[in-house]
Structure 1
Amino acid sequence: MYTTSDENGILNNFANEPDMYYAVYPTQKQQRGYLVQGVFAALFIVGLGVVVTLVS
């Protein structure tokens, strides 16, 4: 972090910027994992809807 001051003596702090990096496209194994997670999430939401419907 570095600090600057203006002509009135007011301090201004600046944070360090993080290093930039490029995103890496997910591998086939990661993509399959995301698909499985999506299916389980969808089933969970549908299941919650069924339970809510049955209880009400």
Structure 2
Amino acid sequence: MSYAASITSGFSLINQKSENKTSSFSDGSELIPAEVRSQLQREGVSVFSRPAINGATVDREGLTNNYAVEPEMYFSSFPSPVQARQYVYQGCAAIALVAGLILTSAIVS
């Protein structure tokens, strides 16, 4: 869902909305995010006419929303028996190392 096509006139719409209000209460529509203002100063009105690509959309204020894109599903590959045996050996070595460190700290203290 991209609002970029509907906001090609830039900030003139925002300014017109704020000038037409007669009430002293604010609904916040006249507030412009700092990043949008600086981006407009750098790039001009072309900020609002950029197409949405790669799952990103541009909201009414000109901010980019990057929504998560679902990755392709794939089958997981389980470890082979050789790899499983290596993992067992690594686990035994880690347990022996931790036991040795605990024993060393008990002897020293």
TM-score (norm 1): 0.74
Higher relative contact order (CA 8 A, sep 6+): 2
Relative to structure 2, which stretch is displaced further, 5-14 or 23-32? 5-14
Residue 92 of structure 2 is matched in structure 1 by: 39
The RMSD of aligned alpha carbons is: 2.0
- 1:17 deviation in Å? 4.9
Residue 11 of structure 1 is matched in structure 2 by: 64
Q: Deviations over 1:22-51 (max 9, x none)?
A: 211211101100010011001001000110
Q: Which of 102, 106, 109 is residue 49 of structure 1 equivalent to?
A: 102
Identity, % of aligned pairs?
38
How many residues align structurally? 56
**CA distance in 2: counterparts of 1:4 and 1:28, whole angstroms:** 47
Which 5+ residue runs of structure 2 have no aligned equivalent? 1-53
Greater CA radius of gyration, 1 or 2? Answer: 2
TM-score (norm 2): 0.43
* 1:22 matches 2:84: no
